[in-house]
């Protein structure tokens, strides 16, 4: 393989990588989430509906099966920050911002589901 072919191949690969990175940045920056709300359930009953589109920082306290569960919202995300459950898996999940990741505290029979649509403002 001669030097000219190698140089052209490297330029082509570099250009493709650059286009891929720019496309990824473009898609991620245009993603806006609207009308997101979190529904907090205790034993399959909705006890709280929280509007996440306001992106406010607020604390909520829910009586679970075995104690109080402390829920916190900030920047459009929601998390369980304190629970009396022994393993603390729900607390270790951290903040959730997506509609496809529920937060579950099985010990207290509390779970949180984010509902709504993620809109992409892209016209082609």
- Could you tell me the CATH number of the domain that includes residue 95? 2.60.320.10
Q: Could you tell me the pTM of the whole model?
A: 0.66
In a domain, 15, yes or no: yes
12 and 56 in a common domain: no
16-71 residue pLDDT tens: 999 999 988 877 666 555 678 889 999 989 999 988 888 889 999 999 889 999 99
In a domain, 10, yes or no: yes
Number of domains in the chain: 2
62 and 78 in a common domain: yes
| Structural domain boundaries, residue 6 | 1-31
Distance between CA atoms of 69 and 73, rounded to whole angstroms? 13
12 and 40 in a common domain: no
The whole-angstrom distance between residue 80's C-alpha and the CA centroid of its chain comes to 13
Q: Which helix (H) or strand (E) holds 2?
A: none
Please give the backbone phi and psi of residue 108, each rounded to the nearest 5 degrees, phi first. Answer: -95, 5
96-123 residue pLDDT tens: 888 888 999 889 999 999 888 655 544 4
């Amino acid at each position: 393989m001669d030097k000219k072919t190698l140089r052209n191949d490297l330029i082509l690969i570099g250009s493709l990588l650059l286009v891929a990175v720019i496309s990824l940045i473009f898609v991620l920056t245009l993603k806006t989430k609207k009308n997101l709300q979190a529904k907090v359930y205790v034993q399959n009953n909705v006890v709280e509906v929280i509007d996440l589109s306001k992106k406010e920082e607020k604390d909520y306290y829910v009586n679970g099966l075995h104690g109080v569960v402390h829920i916190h919202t900030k920047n459009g995300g929601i998390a369980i920050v304190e629970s009396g459950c022994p393993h603390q898996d729900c607390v270790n999940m951290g903040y959730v911002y997506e509609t496809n990741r529920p937060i579950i505290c099985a010990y207290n029979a509390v779970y949180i589901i984010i509902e709504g649509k993620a809109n992409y403002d892209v016209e082609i």
